[in-house]
Amino acid sequence: MELASLAFRTLRRHPLRSLLTALGIAVALTAFVLIRTIIGAWYSGVEASVKDRLIVRNAVSLVFYLPQSYQAQIEQIPGVELVGHGNWFGGKFRDEEMRFQQFAVDEHYVDIYSEYQTSPQERESWDKNRKGLLVGQSIADTYGVKPGDNLRLTGTIFPGDWDFEVSGVFKAQESGKDTRIMYFHYDYLNERNKAELGRQPDQVGFYVVRLKAGANVAEIAKAIDEKFANSFAETLTETETAFIQGFVSMSSGIIAALNAVSVVVVLIMLLVLSNTTLMSFRERYREFSVLNALGFSQRHLSLLVVGEAAVLSSAGFVLLLIALTPVFLLPAKSYLGELVNFFPVFRVSMSTLAFAVALAIGAALIAAFPPLLALRRMKVTDGLRLIH
C-alpha cells in the first residue's frame, strides 16, 4: 500500500461525501468543457476561414449590393488570381426556417472554395445544369437528399418557389468546416429575378477573391477599395477571417457572458473540493498527528493531503469523460437536437480537454492549500491531546 493507495482508501471513509464531491467536480468540469466547446463552435467559422482570401462587399452595408461589372475590374488588379461572387438567398426548405446557408454563385466561387470537394462528374453535372444544386454533406445527411433529387426552396428575399435538381454533394477536406451550405447558379437567380421580380438585377451580394501566392493581402485589399472609391457603390474589402469575425463579434456580449459563467463554474468546483478537503482534514487531525508520530514526515503528510484532493479531482475528470462520451461517439444531432443548427461544428477539442485536466490539477492543489498550511503548524502533541 503506497501513499496514493492510502489517499484513495481514506476517501472511502465517507463514500457518499466523496462521490458527491467527485460528481460536483464532474458537473462543474462538464459545464466548463461544454461552455468552452460552445464558444469554440461559435468561432469555428473564424478558425476555418482562410486569411489570404478576400471578401469584397458594399462599404455601406452587406445588405446593399455591388454591380456585377466589378468582377472583371477586380480581376485586373495585380496579385488577384480569381474572383467569384455570391448572393445570399435566404430561402425556406420544407416550410422550415432557414437551417443552412444558400448562395447563388458563379463557377469561380465554387473553384475558390476548393476546401469543399465534389466528384468531377458531379461538378460537370452542376456546370451544365442551370437549375443544378450542390449541397453540403451535412444537408444531404440531415434531409436525405442525393444527386438526381428535385428540391424546392421558397424564397424570402426573392419571393416564389424555386425548383432545383441536386447535381452533387460536397464534403469538407477538414473536419472543422461547416458543410451546411448549398450552392446554385447565380444566372438562374438573376434571369428569373430580371424577368419576374426586378429586384436589383445584375447585382451581386459580395465578391470572393483568391490571391496569387505571396501576394500582399493588405495592399490588394486597399487597391480594390481605391479602385471603387467615389463610385456609387464603394467597397469594403477585408480578409475572410475579419469578415467572419465581424459576424461573431455581434454576439460578443453572449460570449462574454459564457466566459463569465465558465469562470463561476470553476470557482464553484474549487469551493466544493476545498470544502471536502478541509472537512476531511479537520475530522482526521488526530489521525494526521498519529501518522506524524509513527514517522510520517510533513512531506509525506502533505503528499497525502494533496493526494486525496487529487484522487477526488481525478474521479471528477473520469466522470467528465463518461459524461462526454456521447459527444465523442455520437453525431451532434443526437445530443444537440435542433441546437445542431446553431452549432454545426461541435467538437470538444484536445486543448479544451487539456485545459480541463489543468483545472482539475490546479483545483486539487488550491483546495489542498489550507490543510497544508494547518499541517505546517501541526504538532504531534496537539493532535494526541485531542484524545486526552
Under the rule (CB under 8 A), what is the footprint of another protein? 1-3, 6, 9-10, 12-13, 286-287, 290-300, 379-381, 384, 387-388
350 versus 387: smaller Cβ distance to another protein: 387
Q: Which is nearer to another protein, 321 or 384 (CB)?
A: 384
Considering beta carbons, is residue 128 or 377 the nearer one to another protein? Answer: 377
Radius of gyration of the chain (CA): 30
At its nearest, how many Å lie between another protein and the CB of residue 378?
10
Q: Which residue do the cell numbers 476517501 mark?
A: 11
| Cβ distance to another protein smaller for residue 117 or 298 | 298
CB nearer another protein, residue 128 or residue 388: 388
- Measured from the CB atom, the residue of 13 and 94 that comes closer to another protein is 13
The distance of closest approach from Cβ of residue 18 to another protein in the complex, given in angstroms and rounded to an integer, is 12
Question: Could you tell me the smallest distance in angstroms from the CB atom of residue 19 to another protein?
Answer: 15
Residue nearer to another protein on the CB measure, 88 or 285: 285
Is the CB of 21 or the CB of 241 nearer to another protein?
Answer: 21
* Nine cell digits for residue 82: 480569381
Residue 353 CB, nearest approach to another protein (Å): 32
Q: Work out how close the CB of 311 gets to another protein at its nearest, in angstroms, rounded to a whole number.
A: 13
In the complex, the smallest distance separating the C-beta of residue 387 from another protein, rounded to whole angstroms, is 5
Query: Beta strands 101-105 and 181-185: pairing type?
Result: parallel
User: Considering Cα of 57, then 62, then 63, then 64, what sign does the dihedral take?
Assistant: negative
Phi, psi of 214 (to 5 degrees): 80, 5
Q: How far apart are CA 258 and CA 251, in angstroms?
A: 11
> Would strands 206-211 and 80-88 be described as parallel, antiparallel, or unpaired?
antiparallel
Q: Tell me the closest approach of the beta carbon of residue 363 to another protein, in angstroms.
A: 24
What is the closest distance, in whole angstroms, from the C-beta atom of residue 291 to another protein in the complex? 8
227 versus 300: smaller Cβ distance to another protein: 300
Shortest distance, position 97 Cβ to another protein, whole Å? 59
Cα 250 to chain centroid, rounded = 16
* Angle 184-245-76 from CA coordinates, rounded to 5°: 60
Tell me how long the chain is. Answer: 388
